[in-house]
Amino acid sequence: MTNRLYYHDSFLYAFDAEVRQTLENPRPALVLDRSAFYPTSGGQVHDIGTITIADSNQNLRVTEVRDTEDGRVVHYLEAPIKDVKPGTRVHGYIDPTRRRDHMQQHSGQHVLSAAFVHLFDMHTVSFHMADDYCSIDLDTPSLTKEQIEAAERMANEIILENRRVDIRFVTREEAGKMGLRKIPIADRDELRIIDIRDFDLSACGGTHVHQTGQIGCILLRKAERVRQGWRLEFVAGQRAVATARRDFTELTEAATMLSAHIYDVPQQVRKSLDEIRGLRKQADLSRDELATLQASAVLAETPEANGRKLIVRTFADRDLNSIKLLAQKLTRLASNAVALLATTSPQPSLVFAQSPGQPFDMGALMKQTVATLNGRGGGTRDMAQGGIPKAYGIEGALSSLAQHLSTPG
């Protein structure tokens, strides 16, 4: 078993140790007799840092730390190890920025979880630490904005009071009498307790601050329903400052675009969305009117042949919807229209339509045509549409189809 130095001192960033075991597969790794490196567990993610070989000054980067079922701490290394045997003396160095960040998040979590218990008797059922935020799952059927704000306020008050945070080792029996917020289901008799003075007692193996003031602050973020209750995202310490900074930067950018104060951004966005909705409605109306006018003009200039008006047109820079609209107008304004329309961009597309009662099958013709152009499409007897990968060949396909349709019989 590795002697875990962080159990007693979370602020120990450098230590001496002896190699117990070297591993090569699947990745190079070292097991030491003692270590201050925290292995991923209990919701907290692992430390990173370096291990230096005392005699050779060989520097090994520790990229991941995990513990094994039999209590060893395994330090995974970036590169293979040279000439290191059991018994070799090493120095370990932990990345202090990352460790401090993890302490702020994890101690912050204890304070926050306890605040939810004190205020609303809501218990935390799980804790997750990601690279940029953390989350707890609360066992509760409902969670209001007011409750979130009250818990955030209480947690920050406990931080401002700068209460002591002590590590205590007790037996399971003693722990039972202490009124712990959380007792783990494990077979070990000795429990490690994190004691936030007169506020929270919970069994935990993580790294924690000495005083709540070192957490800095807690900022609650997203709340969402999950299967077990509610998931609440939060950030503590420097992460909270970084997150608030990022929010401010983004909001300022939005405010600048709207020429508004940042607090007026929602109101301005609402106003803009209303305007867009109004303009879209107007544009739809105009598009409809334009299509009607265009359809009338096209019908007027198209001569009748075999008792019907065959319209063949290829457009550029029109979307499928606009040529569809034109096809609808053509076949409604005239009772004998057959329209073979296409657009070459932005997306090469085809629309075939006929006035009700005309003898062709537009769906079948569309299928035949797109098949020759490597596209897909289909529709009903009177209206069909299709899409093709390239505009090349559209006009040829339409004119040979037109020829076929105008041949009597």
Smallest Cα–Cα separation from 107: which of 150, 64, 145, 163?
163
Which listed range, 170-178, 197-205, 308-316, 383-391, lies at the site for Zn ion (CB under 5 A)?
197-205
Residue 113 CB, shortest distance to Zn ion, in Å, is: 9
Per DSSP bridges, beta strands 190-196 and 165-171 are antiparallel
- The rounded radius of gyration (Å) of the Cα atoms in the chain is 35
Residue 106 CB, shortest distance to Zn ion, in Å, is: 6
d(CA 371, CA 392): 14
Q: Which is nearer to Zn ion, 49 or 206 (CB)?
A: 206
d(CA 22, CA 28): 8
HSE of 37, CA atoms in CB hemisphere, 13 A: 34
Which parts of 60-119 interact with Zn ion (CB under 5 A)? none
Which stretches within 302-346 are classed as H helix?
Answer: 320-333
Residue 260 CB, shortest distance to Zn ion, in Å, is: 43
Tokens 């939060």, residue located: 234
Q: Which is nearer to Zn ion, 6 or 76 (CB)?
A: 6
Residue 42 CB, shortest distance to Zn ion, in Å, is: 6
Residue 245 CB, shortest distance to Zn ion, in Å, is: 27
Q: Which is nearer to Zn ion, 196 or 204 (CB)?
A: 204
d(CA 11, CA 96): 8
Q: Which is nearer to Zn ion, 37 or 76 (CB)?
A: 37
**Which sign does the torsion angle of CA 186, 187, 192, 195 carry?**
positive
How many residues does the structure list for the chain?
409
Per rule CB under 5 A, count of chain residues that contact Zn ion: 2
Task: Please give the sequence-ordered ranges of beta strands (E in DSSP) within 48-164, or none if there are none.
Answer: 49-53, 59-67, 73-77, 89-94, 123-129, 134-139
Which listed range, 204-212, 227-235, 255-263, 335-343, lies at the site for Zn ion (CB under 5 A)?
204-212
Q: Which is nearer to Zn ion, 206 or 375 (CB)?
A: 206
State the distance between the two ends of the chain, measured CA to CA, in whole angstroms. Answer: 93
Q: Which is nearer to Zn ion, 111 or 326 (CB)?
A: 111
Residue nearest to Zn ion (CB): 204
Which listed range, 45-53, 152-160, 203-211, 299-307, lies at the site for Zn ion (CB under 5 A)?
203-211
Residue 376 CB, shortest distance to Zn ion, in Å, is: 56
Determine how many CB atoms are found less than 10 A away from the CB of residue 141: 7
Which listed range, 71-79, 82-90, 201-209, 295-303, lies at the site for Zn ion (CB under 5 A)?
201-209
Residue 177 CB, shortest distance to Zn ion, in Å, is: 21
- Binding of Zn ion by 204 (CB under 5 A): yes
Which of 206, 237, 363, 375 binds Zn ion (CB under 5 A)? It is 206
Q: Which is nearer to Zn ion, 206 or 386 (CB)?
A: 206
Which listed range, 81-89, 134-142, 202-210, 337-345, lies at the site for Zn ion (CB under 5 A)?
202-210
Q: Judge whether 342 and 313 are in contact, CB under 8 Å.
A: yes
Q: Which is nearer to Zn ion, 107 or 331 (CB)?
A: 107
Smallest Cα–Cα separation from 35: which of 3, 82, 71, 68?
3
Which listed range, 88-96, 199-207, 234-242, 396-404, lies at the site for Zn ion (CB under 5 A)?
199-207
Contacts of 392 (CB under 8 A, 6+ apart): none
Binding mask 379-398 for Zn ion (x = CB under 5 A): --------------------
Which listed range, 131-139, 206-214, 307-315, 329-337, lies at the site for Zn ion (CB under 5 A)?
206-214
Residue 206 CB, shortest distance to Zn ion, in Å, is: 4
Cα 141 to its chain centre, rounded Å, is: 24
Phi/psi at 7 (5° precision)? -60, -35
3 state SS of 144 = coil
Q: Which is nearer to Zn ion, 113 or 147 (CB)?
A: 113
Q: Which is nearer to Zn ion, 112 or 204 (CB)?
A: 204
Q: Judge whether 322 and 362 are in contact, CB under 8 Å.
A: no
Residue ranges in contact with Zn ion by CB under 5 A: 204, 206
